Amino acid sequence: MPSTTTSTLGVRPANFRFRCIGCGDSSESASQNFRCQHCGDLLEITYPRWKEAGSQDLKSMWRQRRLSQSAADQSGVWRFRDVLPALDSDDQAITLREGNTPLYELPRCARITGVPRLFAKHQGMNPTGSFKDAGMTVAATFARLAGFRWVACASTGNTSASMAAYAARGGMRSLVLVPEGKISWSKLSQALDYGAVTCQLRTDFDGCLRLLQELVLRAPVYQLNSINPFRLEGQKTLALELLEQLDWQPPDHIIVPGGNLGNSSAIGKALLEMRDLGLISRLPKLSVIQAEGANALVRTLREAAGKRLVSVQAETRATAIRIGNPASWKKAAHVLEATEGACEQVSEVEIALAKAEIGAEGIGCEPASAVTLAGLKKLVKQGFVKPEETAVLVLTGSLLKDPDFTMEFHRGDMFKGGVDAAKHAELEKLRRAPIVLDASLDAVIRTLEQAEK
């Protein structure tokens, strides 16, 4: 099958261009694998004619749109369309009213970490239960505008759930490549229900992504991984919405999990653009936290000073970030440097503990999101985050995304042996195993009295 470019299929970039992050080459069209034709590096979207829109005008327009009943205005992504690739008309957007996610205070976790001004931006409250929806609404919209019938992704689960939903809403077919056995049933079942053709490949995420990169050069399918720069433009709005919720007073720290490193890149891009547009006067430090078993960025920064990727054979129970060869490592390294953020890794026990602590706040999240709290504890110990500072954890997925992890933790089936006594005591304090009883009032009252002790 012939290879195609987005421009030949009809996208006419009006307000944006594709720029290579390696050689800086700028172009109106992108090849199917969203890599530079000259040097093979990733592309990003830039806005050369971004006129200096008045920052106060933008802020009041975005606020005003919240009162509107139009679909684009009700989307927490398209509401910020002035800083996104332009559509000819708002009704071209494929939207499930994504974004609009809450910013919660975390009083319990604040006490645990010793950082009183601690918040969670809960992206798990999106339509398909993860932050991917914010990027998918933009990228799926541009896939349809470019005339594609098929969209495709490699995924650890959330991208596929989100892509399948937006493809279905937009009348497109979707092809999902996931690693066999290393993806939660919740996520897989979403993709099936939304009608995706779902292939479980006998490889890991990195193998799935490699194969997809070859596929898009051979078949007329549009790739919706975060290599696709339209995804990152949508995911930028997380930061805009967060700053709006904080009345445009930047927090000192934003802490985000790192897997394929698209989300950290998107948030960092948003922060730099907000500063350039005069929407904020100083940059928060953006920090990325990885699982110890999937710590490619940590090693890239420590062992290669961010100059070349140190890939790893990834292994972690936080399957969403079980990625050893992150595609957007260079973009993430850049925004970490630009915002002076940190990069840390946390152990499996630390992740499980943090997840239960966030759950005990009554909001919950999936394991990959909990690395943020575990990472914050480390950054406080190192003196990088100070008690008087404001920190925001980006919770990327819903608790319901991985019930097996939660059940195993509370039943005490996780970490059998191999945990030191101090950690074991901390874990035990948080465990709430289900209690099987005879259906008698006495038994329930005895249980209540026991729990009260």
What does the radius of gyration of the chain's CA atoms come to, in whole angstroms?
Answer: 22
Residue among 4, 32, 75, 159 that touches ligand F0G (CB under 6 A): 159
Residue among 223, 260, 287, 300 that touches ligand F0G (CB under 6 A): 260
Q: Return the residue matching tokens 């915002």.
A: 339
Element (H, E) at 430: helix 421-430
Element (H, E) at 164: helix 158-169
Residue among 151, 283, 309, 321 that touches ligand F0G (CB under 6 A): 321
Tokens of 173: 């077919």
329-339 and 262-276 helices, crossing angle to 10°? 40
Regarding 320 and contact with ligand F0G (CB under 6 A), the answer is yes
Segment near ligand F0G (CB under 6 A), from 74-82, 350-358, 365-373, 431-439?
A: 365-373
Regarding 261 and contact with ligand F0G (CB under 6 A), the answer is yes
**CA within 13 Å, CB half, 380:** 21
Residue 205 · residue 320 · CB < 8 Å? no
Question: Shortest gap between Cβ of 300 and ligand F0G (angstroms)?
Answer: 13
Element (H, E) at 380: helix 367-381
Residue 361 · residue 106 · CB < 8 Å? yes
Segment near ligand F0G (CB under 6 A), from 23-31, 353-361, 362-370, 429-437?
A: 362-370
The one-letter amino acid at 450: Q
Q: Which is nearer to ligand F0G, 58 or 168 (CB)?
A: 168
Residues 240-259 that bind ligand F0G (CB under 6 A): 257-259
Residues 172-231 that bind ligand F0G (CB under 6 A): 226
Question: Shortest gap between Cβ of 1 and ligand F0G (angstroms)?
Answer: 25
Residue among 300, 369, 372, 406 that touches ligand F0G (CB under 6 A): 369
E strands of 38-132, at which residues? Answer: 43-46, 103-105, 117-122
Regarding 300 and contact with ligand F0G (CB under 6 A), the answer is no
Question: Shortest gap between Cβ of 380 and ligand F0G (angstroms)?
Answer: 21
Residues that bind ligand F0G (CB under 6 A): 130, 155-159, 226, 257-264, 320-321, 366, 368-369, 396-397
